Structure 1
């Protein structure tokens, strides 16, 4: 069975925060490289003119995926309800952009704040889990009235102490018990947390609506140790029909680079990262199996 997928790339590969002034240069580049989808990382909705982005998407023939950024002021497990209210307001703005851009889901680790990694007593961790479930039910209702889903993303142990694995996120959406609750898996985090990428993808099953990839060290796909055959086997088995999107980060933005601990360039240039990564992924999808890593 061949994979019927689209290829995307994150705006974080080049810029942070994403803003309207960047769209023509960035979207023309992404479209010219041969991508179908631009994954827009919305850090601050207030600096994005949604209508201008919509026009640029049409001009360059791109579809959009929208991913959120969740720091301490957007933490649905915080003890302070005013922090929840701020997070809901942000999520609502992002969802409105999803509707405007004809995107069918809003994605990200929206259950808690990124970087919240602590050794907690079992009772406190259970309380935070229950708070995440309660608040994500509200988020799912916000999504449903807009005709959207949410794609919840597990993070590795250094970035979250709540949801690290496919099993964790499956349990989370079971507890949320709402049809809008779905899954995003990110190969970088799976590479740290999952004994088997193949098993993780199969466990997510038909709840998986978005997949982010880079190679194991967050570099160009095809240049590292990632077991791409495991991806293919699992994605074929679950009949995945979504986007496979390259997500990595630019070391040129020092604040972003520090947040994701990228201390040196991961490719000759960010453009070469995107071009070579897409070439590998297209070859990977087209061939029955990859026996050796793609030679750059």
Structure 2
């Protein structure tokens, strides 16, 4: 697994200065990659990002979220069209950063819906993903569908929801994006959900229930990482945490990150990386102990 960290641990804006700062701190802390956030494809600064990534010697993936004015699940054709254009532009920005993966809430606006999705919503979403998959494949990008909790979407809340879309489209350009924070709310059995959908999973977030230090909340991380190791997942795992100590007010509001669970980005990042490595090592050791390699018979005159 390639271990990464979310850019919002370091910065809110994505300017020339903050790009260099966030990418530099990510490399300095020892992560393999950073997840850059595309709030608006017009402000993604792919050339500056690609330059900083090359200088730091790490990798980059991108993430995004739709909004009420650009939402492919909307019954308003203009809003749905704006959402499709947003994702299409984000695909190109991702490509130009030197990344091959765009994850996030690509299926609907990330906000609180007042009712369940109306009849026909998922059909519109699937139809749109069919077109987006063609564009993503042409750009050499894999496009993610992140399952998020009921307070942030009424379209894709579980891994099964995301995996169903991926399997329906049948394109290698689409994948399910999972997040321990959301699974802790929505899944009946995290390990089982991962096991039955591992063929579709292409990106993983490790986030605590309180959006703070890993291990400080209610997420069962030993179970989470055991499931990933057992399923032989070998893609990115990105540590995600949010705090008003770093985020600007509008972004903090969008994420409901109003409680300050941490203030020191570097300490958080360092301990997060150590925590994830420890969980992966423990899960791997446990798996080997349960399923040891068969003893090899050696037939040699020198033994």
TM-score normalised per structure 2: 0.87
Superposed counterparts of 1:57-76, under 5 Å: 57-76=53-72
Tell me by how many angstroms 1:98 deviates.
Answer: 2.1
CA offsets, 1:29-81, max 9 Å, x none? 11100011000011022223211211100111110011112111220021222
Tell me by how many angstroms 1:190 deviates.
Answer: 0.2
Q: 1:109 aligns with which of 105, 122, 125?
A: 105
Q: 2:202 aligns with which of 195, 209, 223?
A: 209
Residue of structure 1 in register with 2:234 after alignment:
241
Q: 2:12 aligns with which of 16, 29, 32?
A: 16
Check the 8 A contact 2:229/2:280 in 1, yes or no: no
Mapped to 1, the partners of 2:44 and 2:163 lie a distance apart of 33
Q: Secondary structure at the match of 1:112?
A: strand
Q: 1:224 aligns with which of 217, 222, 226?
A: 217
Deviates more, 1:188-197 or 1:175-184: 175-184
Check the 8 A contact 2:133/2:174 in 1, yes or no: yes
1:265 and 2:265 correspond = no
Tell me by how many angstroms 1:183 deviates.
Answer: 0.8
Superposed counterparts of 1:154-173, under 5 Å: 154-173=147-166
Tell me by how many angstroms 1:243 deviates.
Answer: 1.1
Q: Secondary structure at the match of 2:107?
A: coil
**Structure 1, unpaired ranges of 5+:** 290-296
Tell me by how many angstroms 1:186 deviates.
Answer: 0.7
Q: Secondary structure at the match of 1:74?
A: coil
Tell me by how many angstroms 1:116 deviates.
Answer: 4.6
**Structure 2, unpaired ranges of 5+:** 287-303
- Alignment RMSD: 1.7
Check the 8 A contact 2:244/2:257 in 1, yes or no: yes
Check the 8 A contact 1:15/1:250 in 2, yes or no: no
Mapped to 2, the partners of 1:74 and 1:264 lie a distance apart of 28
Mapped to 1, the partners of 2:167 and 2:234 lie a distance apart of 22
Residue of structure 2 in register with 1:275 after alignment:
270
Q: Secondary structure at the match of 1:115?
A: coil
- Which protein is bigger by CA-based radius of gyration? 2
Q: Secondary structure at the match of 1:15?
A: coil
Mapped to 2, the partners of 1:244 and 1:163 lie a distance apart of 20
Q: Secondary structure at the match of 1:209?
A: strand
Residue of structure 2 in register with 1:293 after alignment:
none
Runs of 4+ in 1 over 6 A off after TM superposition: none
Tell me by how many angstroms 1:213 deviates.
Answer: 0.8
Mapped to 1, the partners of 2:243 and 2:54 lie a distance apart of 26
Tell me by how many angstroms 1:265 deviates.
Answer: 1.2
Residue of structure 2 in register with 1:92 after alignment:
88
Q: Would the alpha carbon gap of residues 173 and 48 (structure 1) be closer, same or farther in structure 2, given more than 3 Å must change?
A: closer
